Amino acid sequence: MTTLIASDAISTLARDLGERSLVVGSDAQEAPVAGVENPLGNGDIGTQFRIGRLSGDGPLKLATVLETWEANSVGQDYSIGTKRQYRMYFRRWADSVKLETRNVRWLATNGKESIIRWTMSLPEKSRRMGLASVESVWTFALDIPFPVNKKRDFGRRALKMSGQRDCPADSDIEPLYRAAQHEDDPYLRSMMLVELNTGLRPGNQLMALTWSDVRDFDDVLAIVAGSTPSRRFKTDSKIVARLPKEASEALMAWRARTPNKAPSDFVWPRRHWGAIMDRQSDDESLNREYRAFLRRHGLTTWVRLAHVRHWIEYRGDRDGISDVLLAFIRGHSVKDETEGRLGYGGNRGVENVLTDQAAWTDGPCGVFESQAVVRDGLDPYMAVVSEYAGGRMTTADLANRMEQVRLRLANQSIIPSQ
């Protein structure tokens, strides 16, 4: 077995917990460690840290419980945001049961009742996350089984699925789009227009983008980004999103202004009082930017940036865009069999996806520019045919564009030619 020297913090924690051993190494799973039945690694081959879970009759210390959980759950690859939420909810539950006056024996007897009662006291949309938080910390920090069974103890209706956000209507999004058009801060203008045309997850995807993820494609920009060991998206699905002209121009303007232009620099780094910092923006700082944007334009809305991806899906469906192309735009999962059938794979696949997305010329926000009066109902169709005749689109693109025109003309006032 290969033996490495662990950090002082982990070693100290192991001593504080009264353990006799701390195992680090490629075959660490073979070494017995007190209180650990199913140790997990940190996701890197050949490296594994484990410390014993808590047991005994002594009073529990919240800080020790959380440190034990974090050390033993590294193999779960929780994001920074998820760990922050889990700590927050677990602290709330710990406060409700006065955890630091209890021991593991008390939890074994009373834990189930206290967890159910506390979970049901939460707002409906928070219950599933709250329960998941307590379950994770309990499982990886305490040497007793988690006593709650979701199906048995809560049934089908008590825990609302996470991520079930309401989908904004066009009328909810248009004020944000109009405000972005008139925004004079190139940072905010480009960020909002890109988000309103892609629906990327705000903190997990949008603010994690670097300039290396932005590429030129024909006469616009495109975003091609994937999850990496140093940048974990919620899923491993790749983002492949062609930006409409308006969003592309806004992003080009920001690229020309920002002092951070290196490929590894964040596109929208964190700002402090308007000053750009050399660090990634997080959910808190992004929400601060969004609130500032709303104040600047006198907007009051229930819509948060996390809702936009649902509107993108709705708008794409109305505009006749395929589910596969929408999945790539939003960095959502694309089934392998569908991906293979359409010929998307490797570097060539990215080019194919971007070419197909060009059929959605103006993107989802194009619906807001389609309300103008059309002098002749045939003009938009003839414009598409002209592009096709000029060899600027395929026959499949022609059919998609014609369908988009048909759908958009339903919202327009048409004046017949004289």
DSSP states along 296-336: HTT---S--HHHHHHHHHHHHHHTT--HHHHHHHHT----H
Q: Taking the CB of residue 114, how many other CB atoms lie within 10 A of it?
A: 18
**Are residues 289 and 186 part of one domain?**
yes
Amino acid 238: pLDDT: 86
Q: Is residue 375 predicted with pLDDT exceeding 50?
A: no
Residue 368 falls within a domain, yes or no? Answer: no
Q: Name the DSSP class of 386.
A: H
Q: In the prediction, which pLDDT does 221 show?
A: 95
More confident site: 6 or 319:
319
> Is 364 within a domain?
no
What percent of the chain shows pLDDT beyond 70? 75
Region 215-225 average pLDDT: 92
pLDDT of 339 reads 47
Q: 282 and 139, same structural domain?
A: no
Domain that holds residue 31: 8-154
Predicted pLDDT of residue 242: 94
Question: Per-residue pLDDT for 407 more than 70?
Answer: no
Mark whether 183 and 149 lie in a shared domain. no
Answer whether residue 6 shows pLDDT above 50. no
Look at residue 189 and tell me if it is in a domain.
yes
* Residue 394: pLDDT over 90: no
Q: Is residue 333 part of a domain?
A: yes
**One domain for residues 208 and 74:** no
User: Tens digits of per-residue pLDDT, 342-372?
Assistant: 444 434 488 888 888 888 989 999 998 865 4
Write the DSSP string, 151-197.
HHHHTTTSSPPTT-PPPPPHHHHHHHHHHHHT---HHHHHHHHHHHH
For the residues 177-204, what does the mean pLDDT come to?
94
In a domain, residue 361? The reply is: no
Q: Is the pLDDT score of 240 beyond 70?
A: yes
pLDDT tens per residue, range 268-292: 999 988 788 888 888 888 899 999 9
Single residue among 154, 189, 217 that ends a domain in this structure: 154
Helix, strand, coil percent values for the chain (each to nearest 5)? 50, 5, 40
Answer yes or no: do 87 and 195 share one domain: no
Claim to verify: residue 237 and residue 148 sit in the same structural domain: no
Structural domain count, the chain: 2
Question: Does one domain contain both 210 and 116?
Answer: no
* CB-CB neighbours of 163 under 10 Å: 9
Mind listing the pLDDT tens digit for each residue in 20-67?
333 333 333 333 334 434 433 333 333 344 566 777 778 899 999 999
Query: Is residue 113, in this structure, part of any structural domain at all?
Result: yes
Residues 199 and 98 in one domain: no
User: Tell me: the pLDDT tens digits for 107-116?
Assistant: 999 999 999 9
**Residues 187 and 136 placed together within one structural domain of the fold:** no
pLDDT at 252: 96
pLDDT at 384 over 80: no
Per-residue pLDDT of 253-266, as tens digits, reads 999 999 999 999 99
Please indicate, yes or no, if residue 410 is contained in any of the structural domains: no
Same domain, 185 and 304: yes
Phi and psi at residue 142, to the nearest 5°: -110, 145
> DSSP assignment, residue 412?
S
